[in-house]
Amino acid sequence: MLNTLLNNLLGSATSDGPHIALAPETVTKLGGFTITNSTIYGVICAILLAALLLTASRKVRVKAVAGFTQIVEILMEFVIGLIEGPIGSRKKAAQYAPIFGAFFFFIIFSNIMGIMPWVGPGITATTAEGVIPLFRAFTADLNGTIAMAVTGIVAVQYLSIKESGFLGHLKHYFTDKPFNPINMFIGLLEVFGEFTRMISLSLRLFLNTVVGEILIAVFAFIGRDFQSFTILPIAMFEILVAGIQAYVFTVLCATYLGLAIAHGHHDDEHPHNETDAVEAGLTGETSTKPLTN
């Protein structure tokens, strides 16, 4: 069984050398849109993952339920703990856990599913370009990781505006004196930095995944005569990479959100003027911040 799995999983390693493809292959065109093997794989993974998580959510009980549901609960608790530090509040972490958890679960699930026999040369399709794999790991497609990075940054912007308000969110970039030339310049750099974050997130996820695939293809070609010995470390390596990439992507997105809302939270903790100080005094609160004109 192990030999069959490795043959299907690493079928791209031919006698002429390992087959390495950096770009996804086009399977068909639909309404003017190009459908690649990574797109098909990504959609299938998203549907399967959503079905599994919905099934698990319906089985959640106060008393722990053994099996897949318990694994999901443990992972969600891990995600909450993961983003609690950057966001600075467990309540907010639990509130936004479904958003960040979606990235975490999808990256792990799609990468681990990528080592299954039906991904890669295991199942092929005949197209105008020839015989190509029908499924390719979604995170091994730069277009896929760019889409995930853009979604992540847009989600961070939305949640930041939700937390601090639109004007409060702008202060994160331009402070409360946006027309100061220095503040304006630094603010524009911060805005530009959001685009570099998209590039950084997408390239980090793509390169780590595709390099993993290349290593697998190379080692499979080198060790094709020792298939039973090579299957376990290859599978363990892919699972490790999947976990690390899910962790890094989720932590970075949570950190970006934490940085974006930190300014607003800091402002809310202290009164800004005499009026706020008087209101605080009327309610019996005290402030250690000096009054400002």
Element (H, E) at 130: strand 130-135
On the question of pLDDT at 8 being above 50, the answer is no
Strand partners, 125: 132
pLDDT digits (tens, 9 = 90+) for 235-291: 787 788 888 889 999 999 999 998 888 765 544 444 444 334 333 443 444 444 444
Cβ(118)–Cβ(100) below 8 Å: no
Q: Which residue has the higher pLDDT, 100 or 3?
A: 100
On the question of pLDDT at 4 being above 80, the answer is no
Cβ(37)–Cβ(27) below 8 Å: yes
In angstroms, how far is CA 248 from the centroid of its own chain?
8
pLDDT digits (tens, 9 = 90+) for 29-62: 887 788 888 888 999 999 999 998 888 888 777 6
Helix (H, G, I), strand (E, B) or coil at 271: coil
136 burial class (0-12, 13-18, 19+ CB within 10 angstroms)? buried
Strand partners, 28: 35
Global confidence as pTM: 0.76
- Give residue limits of the domains in the chain: 2-282
Cβ(20)–Cβ(214) below 8 Å: yes
pLDDT confidence band for 146 (50 / 70 / 90): very high
Mean pLDDT of 169-185: 81
